[in-house]
Amino acid sequence: MVNEIVEAFATVPPGVVVDATLGGAGHTTALLDQYEWMSVLGIDRDAIAIAHAREVADRYPGRFMVEHGRFDRVEEFLQKNAIAEISGALFDLGVSSPQLDRAERGFSYRLAGPLDMRMDPSQLLTAATIVNTYDAETIAEILRRNADERYAFRIATAIVAARPIIDTMHLASVVAAAIPAPARRTGGNPSKRTFQAIRIEVNAELDVLPKALNGAIEATVVGGRIAVLTYHSGEDRIVKDVFGAAEARGKSSAQPSPYHHPDSIRRYAQRVKAPRRPSAAELDRNPRAKSARLRVLEKVGR
């Protein structure tokens, strides 16, 4: 949804936008090409993405800063780069296409590879640890919490019974066999939700998201925007909750008080548009975007 992201930041004040999930830097380069008044601080926990971004940054001298780490460190990275306020932030959640397309990273249920799924290969926890050592109850809870998997316990029981599971294709076949045949015939690859849930657990994606979003909102200037692309219901619930809390903060501060004159009260934040989905044309070009949902919040007060 590059065009929609570029449009979302068209009205923000000149300054720095944080791309909290750089990936292949596609969104960043589109923003920098479109808006000469904008700079970007890009963050990613994947060393391969960082190496690529540093090469891309040479095309935008003084306008593209790159930091290696998780996006919940956004406030730390802003301080490191002497950035007091930002014009907005972008979070494109989930796994990037370069990660999916590299079998050795272990993210894909279509390609044979190790049970890895680490966005930061330096961390210790891998998908193999979860798949081959966690008990069935814990795995089932991971599948429910991170992917709303209807057949969580059936799948978890099948995983434990099939150990040791040696690679991604082996895991995909175990999961598919555990799901009832009628359910396998609808909704795409039957392993998708299980791989998603394990990847989220390996990388603690949902755990760090609220802190990262709140830090970005707090650092954003009036008129700036936070745009988030989510790909499943767990992520989207967190984004809705954080955005809703930011809006409620403004509403609660607007209550009559002997300490504040009504004319001086301003709202804190407001959602810009209803959630948006990829266009039909984009889905033709990029079927992986099918589950994407865009939410945008604008900072309207302090």
* Residue 60, Cβ density class (10 Å: 0-12 exposed, 13-18 middle, ≥19 buried): middle
Which residues is 297 bridged to in the sheet? Answer: 226, 271
The whole-number pLDDT of residue 99 equals 81
Q: pLDDT-derived band of residue 94, with 50, 70 and 90 as boundaries?
A: confident
Is residue 201 within 8 A of residue 146, CB to CB? The reply is yes
What is the mean predicted confidence (pLDDT) over 213-230? 96
Asked if the model's pLDDT at residue 21 lies above 70, the reply is yes
The whole-number pLDDT of residue 216 equals 96
Is residue 20 within 8 A of residue 45, CB to CB? The reply is no
The whole-number pLDDT of residue 233 equals 85
Q: pLDDT-derived band of residue 125, with 50, 70 and 90 as boundaries?
A: very high
Structure confidence by residue, pLDDT tens digits, 228-269: 999 888 899 999 999 999 999 866 444 444 433 343 345 688
Please give the full DSSP string across the chain, using - where no structure is assigned.
-HHHHHHHTTTSPSEEEEES--TTSHHHHHHHHH-TTEEEEEEES-HHHHHHHHHHHTTSTTTEEEEES-GGGHHHHHHHTT---EEEEEEE-S--HHHHH-GGG---SSS---S---SSTTSS--HHHHHHHS-HHHHHHHHHHHH--TTHHHHHHHHHHTPSP-SHHHHHHHHHHHS-HHHHTSSS-TTHHHHHHHHHHHHTHHHHHHHHHHHHHHHEEEEEEEEEEE-SHHHHHHHHHHHHHHHHHHHHHTS-BTTB-GGG----EEE-SS-B---HHHHHH-GGGGG-EEEEEEE---
Q: Say what the pTM is.
A: 0.87
d(CA 245, CA 241): 6
| Domains (range + CATH), the chain | 2-97+205-299 (3.40.50.150), 107-203 (1.10.150.170)
Q: pLDDT-derived band of residue 288, with 50, 70 and 90 as boundaries?
A: low
The whole-number pLDDT of residue 253 equals 46
Angle at 292 between CA 98 and CA 54, to 5 degrees: 35
Structure confidence by residue, pLDDT tens digits, 136-171: 999 999 999 999 999 999 999 999 999 999 999 999
- Pairing, β 269-271 against β 293-299: antiparallel
What is the percent of the chain with per-residue pLDDT over 70, rounded to a whole number?
Answer: 89
The whole-number pLDDT of residue 285 equals 67
Q: pLDDT-derived band of residue 289, with 50, 70 and 90 as boundaries?
A: low
What is the mean predicted confidence (pLDDT) over 48-67? 96
